[in-house]
Amino acid sequence: MSGFHENEGIIVIAATNRLDTLDEALLRPGRFDRHIEIGLPDVKGRYEILKLHSSNKPLANNVSLMELAQQTVYFSGAKLENLMNEAAILAAKRNSGKIEKADIERAFYTVIAGAEKKDRSTIADIDRRITAIHEAGHALITKLIAPENIVSRITIIPSTKGAGGFSMNIPPDRMYFKKVDMENSIRIALAGRAAEEIIFGEENITTGASNDIERATEILLNMVRRFGMKQQTGLLNYDVLYRNGIRQVQNEWIEECKKTMDKLYSEVKEKLLEKKELLEAIATRLLEVETIGENELNELIEQYKKKSENAA
């Protein structure tokens, strides 16, 4: 960076996705002193990116890029490019001259969870039922506590990435996360394990909740460590304390996280116990057809409501 003069007309531009690891000397005035953060695109940005990556691809009339932009919350530009390329490959495999809406839907879930596993003959019936109960738990809790979220797909079809199934939960496109939103995300993540415990008993819970627990823990740690959202740990950034050599407070916020996690898990179990019949109805439908979407899930919930009202 040294040796440049004002009249040379040279602009030095650099990019990184790890700003926190850069030497502070690089960021002093006269060096890289203007920082431009490029976050994930909003809905308008996603629409423009999709237009760009579909400009050389023939799209069928039933494909709406704006609708797709609204469904791809938290997708990066690279992920959107991957989505359109995957859809083109699927269309080519069908010897189709155009990318249909169905191609994009398949590509969407391939990008998220991996391609569907073709040979499912070795999967035991009990494993299919565990997966159905687990995914039904995620979907049902989402509808109960975050009805603004879209549960676009629930499936018990395993993927080539090792997932036994998944529930696709699309939150609204927002600039900020509220405390209640983050707690609801934790509740939704814990719902699969809670559903397993309710139906099969505490001794028969499985490893299927591994990624869910990891995600829930990460959200909760951020609430405590970075965002000052818990009363006991207060309005402190524990990363700053740690960098300044104050490390004895660690046990305090770990204990706070554990108490909060246990509380949220108990709340989820209570809600699922109240709707146990509906939970099993969703799981039964998944066992029958393997995959259901938002509309069918809403129909199952409406049928349950009418049945409950008639019984009352």
> What are the residue numbers of the active site?
135
- Nearest partner of 298 among 276, 274, 282, 312, judged by Cα: 282
**CB count in 10 Å sphere of residue 77:** 17
Sheet containing 150-155: give its strands across: 166-170, 150-155, 291-293
- Nearest partner of 77 among 106, 46, 107, judged by Cα: 46
Q: What is the spatial distance between Cα 256 and Cα 278, in angstroms, rounded to a whole number?
A: 33
- Backbone phi, then psi, for 116, in 5-degree steps? -65, 140
Q: What is the spatial distance between Cα 73 and Cα 119, in angstroms, rounded to a whole number?
A: 31
- Is-contact 175 233, C-beta < 8 A? no
